[in-house]
Structure 1
Amino acid sequence: MLLWKPPAAWFSINAFFTRSPCGAHRLRNWYVNFEHPEIRTEVGFDTFDLAVDLVIAPDLTRWRWKDEDEYAHVRRLGIVTDAQHQAVDAARAQVLAMLEERQGPFADAVTWTVWRWNLAWPPPRLPQPGPAR
């Protein structure tokens, strides 16, 4: 998975890769996760998933909403407030515009379809917590 998270955005865009039967890697799909903007902490990042997602074909020609029923349920429960719902609606429109206009990671979609993790790169590590204040 390759994740693209703009600062202060109410979504992240993920590229999910899979291995074909012959062992070649390929882009399985794009996946937009709608979530609270991230908050940097001493040990990493905090966010909150908002249930609704957008699944996009690797070639960007088709897309479908996922879990809209769950999103409606968390809205009814008050887990997603009216103000948050407005932010999600704006984020949905922003992502669809990016997709239609081929902006953000969609601008270089062909390049991303062949992206590979460099095996020489060290595994990512979160920083260790600092001393208590």
Structure 2
Amino acid sequence: MGSLRPGGTAVRRDVYRDKVWSAHALRVVEDGTEALVLAGRPGAEMLAPTTWIEWLLTGDETARARAMPNLADGNWRLDPWSWRNTAHLQWVPPELWFSVHAFYDPSDGHRLAHWYVNFQQPMRRTAIGFDTFDLLLDLVIDPDLSQWRWKDEDEYAHGRRLGVVSEADHRAVERARDEATAMIEERTGPFAAAADWRDWRSEPHWPAPSLPTGTLTVGLP
């Protein structure tokens, strides 16, 4: 840890079977021993599956439904996209099977809208940032940490049936569920600094980050 410079760009890639499923350019806030902390903002460059973009633009649930079989078959196409509507912080520890995100509404005084736990494979450092793989299950948490709800459990179950989420992944996620909820209840990890995170603002002089050359190939076979 500690190899990325604050203010620099780090690319989070979701990689499945040595192929990029998505890529997101983020700004480095801190690269510490506990976690890598990253910032996202509207305008940040991304590469995303065409089915996901179609669903976002049209609301057509059939487009989203095609994404999982495409992923299982290794048959997908990526198109350029940019992050929209929210700013966010990501807390990505080096060994845990989840990351913690805080989402803010720039149109409403940068209000903290909610927290989000994203279950994913542990990060693997790359020359441009880090790789992981989103394991489909999420936990949405109220801004004051008083309540939370599970999200996309049906999609997670479908991913298991198709083999996108392996049995080893599933066992790790089951353990990670308990770790994440304990972190909320005990106010540890990023939740220990919840008051500071509620007051966070993105640095106004930082431009929206861009994806570097080699985003689809660096470190992959």
For the aligned pair, the TM-score class normalised by the smaller chain equals: 0.7 to 0.9
Structure 2's unaligned 5+ residue stretches are: 1-87
Match of 2:129 among 30, 33, 44: 44
Distance 2:176 2:111 in 1: 28
Q: 1:44 touches 1:126 (CA, 8 Å); kept in 2?
A: no
Give the equivalent residue in structure 2 for 1:100.
185
Unpaired runs of at least 5, structure 1: none
TM-score (norm 2): 0.53
Q: Do structure 1's residue 78 and structure 2's residue 169 form an aligned pair?
A: no
Query: Quick check: 1:112 aligned with 2:194?
Result: no
Amino acid at match of 1:66: K
The 8 Å contact of residues 43 and 128 in structure 1, kept in 2 or not, is answered as: no
- 1:67-101 Cα deviation digits (max 9, x unpaired): 00010111111221211111111111100000000
Q: Which residue of 1 aligns with 2:43?
A: none
1:81 is matched by which residue type in structure 2?
A: S
Root mean square deviation of aligned Cα: 2.0
Match of 2:151 in 1: 66
SS at match of 1:84: helix
Alignment: residue pair count = 128
Task: Tell me the percent identity.
Answer: 59
Structure with more strand by fraction:
2
C-alpha deviation, 1:120, in angstroms: 3.3
1: distance between equivalents of 2:168 and 2:191?
28
Once the two structures are overlaid, the 10-residue window that deviates more, 7-16 or 43-52, is: 43-52
Segments ≥4 residues shifted beyond 3 Å: 120-130
Task: Please name the residue that 2:173 is paired with.
Answer: 88
**Shift in Å at residue 127 of structure 1?**
7.0
Partner of 1:27: 112
Post-superposition offset of 1:118:
2.0
TM-score, structure 1 length as denominator?
Answer: 0.86
**Residues 36-91 of structure 1 deviation map (CA, whole Å, 9 limit, x = unaligned):** 11212223321111111000000000100000001011111122121111111111
